[in-house]
Amino acid sequence: MPDNLVPILYDFHIKPYIGSNPTVWPAEKDYTFEGYIEMHLACAKPTNKIVFHAADMVINENTLAILSTTDPTMTVTKSVEIDKRREFVTVTMSKQCVQGANYTLSMTYDGNVLGTLYGFYRSSYIDNNGNRVP
């Protein structure tokens, strides 16, 4: 990842829908998740791009927001570039960030709880009684 913006803190919330529970959520939610994140960043070098790693997620571009400690007029343009091969997301800001200033990028996203040992995945195990525990 570029070293223009240095992560300070990731504050995220994930709401997983593990298994099937038709009395609580609709079937299309089975083995999916919803999330919200605030990425707190310090600007080491001026840039108008925030680049971060993400795979197999759908970012809700309408929820993208940037908060600046130095410029309340800074916004996120709605251009989000996704590099699936390298699993990077690039978000473009309306202006260059200021060296030494702090920024917070927030957004919602969703995805699938995967059945492979990759990303946010599901697994099971056999307990001492020989029962599979999801």
Q: Are 64 and 36 in contact (CB under 8 A)?
A: no
Cα–Cα dist 77/40, whole Å: 18
Q: Are 3 and 94 in contact (CB under 8 A)?
A: no
For position 45, which CATH number holds? 2.60.40.1730
Q: How many domains does the chain have?
A: 1
Q: What is the spatial order of strands in the sheet that 88-93 belongs to?
A: 49-53, 88-93, 76-83
Digitized pLDDT (tens) for each residue of the chain, 134 residues in all = 689 999 999 999 999 998 889 999 999 999 999 999 999 999 999 999 999 999 889 999 999 999 998 888 888 886 789 999 999 999 999 999 999 999 999 999 999 988 777 777 777 789 999 988 87
- Residue indicated by tokens 């929820």: 63
Q: How many CB atoms lie within 10 A of CB 115?
A: 10
Give the residue numbers spanning the domain of 68: 5-133
